[in-house]
Amino acid sequence: MKIAIIGAGNVGGSVAYAIILREFATQIVLVDINEDLLYAKELELSQSIAALNLDIELICSTDYSHTKNSDIVLFSAGFARKDGQSREELLQLNTNIMLDCARKIKEFSADPLFIILTNPVDFLLNTLYESKIFSSKKIVAMAGVLDNARFKYELAKKLKAKISSVDTRLIGFHNDDMVLVKSYASVKNQKISELLSEEEFEDLENEVKTGGAKVIKHLKTSAYLAPASACVRMLESIRSGEFLPMSVILHGEFGVQNKALGTMARLGLEGVVEIMKLDLSNEEKDKIKKSLIKYQYIKE
């Protein structure tokens, strides 16, 4: 398995490290414009590989030709979200960077599985789809796994339960309009509607939605360890066949045509294999519909 990571910053470097720890790839190519950063990452990651006594080939370079014949490309370049800045404000800043990188990748890998990690993921995925650089089935974005992890973490903490006993699902946008699918959430196979009041669930929902902002406030930069872990979980689902929340281009689901939205999907090297059909509650349907109208995905 050959994986190219575009952007060697906090997220890109952490993803590379997580991939090494999980021994998911035999070749990792890390691309960035910052040569000093690349040199430092090459030392750190190569020494990590040596410490673990692994046979993983690592290349850190400014030259995209090293990405030739990549199976998977992870895009983590661009600007990180700052304290008080919305994900939407990042769109214009990161659009041009992403499209330039995608075109360079295309020169050396015809149609890899291309996963966006840079914010705002849903709207960058829309832009990439509209560019027609890659086929719609082969482009996805990682955020749902991260948001769902925050959902699971907050629920386990609130109910003092083991993480492994908590089952959660999440759909929608990677912003305040995300929808925590309460009707499918459970702890020890008991529905959370039986465990939490409406007010308690609303408090939980707020904690999940502000999960990223809280990291930014105290760390002074956006999260990177949890996003890296979520990305690797997404990569490993290619082998396991597990359904996970991710942003994909929809073709009729939720009444959405040719737009990106987070949903439960199954991923393969060939792209999106299957989208899970969810029997949502009326409240959840209403939340999704309102967010789709808000971003002009559908008409009111």
Residue list, annotated binding site: 7-12, 32, 81, 87, 94, 119, 150
Q: What's the CA dihedral at 270, 109, 250, 18 to 10 degrees?
A: 70
Question: Among the options 66, 174, 218, 251, which is catalytic?
Answer: 174
* Three-state SS sequence of 130-169: HHCCCCHHHEEECCHHHHHHHHHHHHHHHHCCCHHHEECC
The question of whether 174 is a catalytic residue gets the answer yes
Residue 26: CB partners within 8 Å, gap ≥ 6? 1, 2, 55, 56, 57
User: What gap in Å lies between CA 4 and CA 29, rounded to an integer?
Assistant: 5
Q: What are phi and psi of 85, to 5 degrees?
A: -95, 135
**Buried (b) or exposed (e) across 97-135, using 16+ Cβ within 10 A?**
bbbebbebbbebbeebbbbbbbbbbbbbbbbbbeeebbe
User: What gap in Å lies between CA 123 and CA 116, rounded to an integer?
Assistant: 10
User: What gap in Å lies between CA 213 and CA 91, rounded to an integer?
Assistant: 17
Q: What are phi and psi of 198, to 5 degrees?
A: -60, -40
Annotated binding-site residue numbers for NAD(+): 7-12, 32, 94
What are the DSSP calls for 164-228, one per residue? GGEE--EEB-SSTT-EE-GGG-EETTEEGGGTS-HHHHHHHHHHHHTHHHHHHHHHSS---HHHH
Residues forming the active site: 174
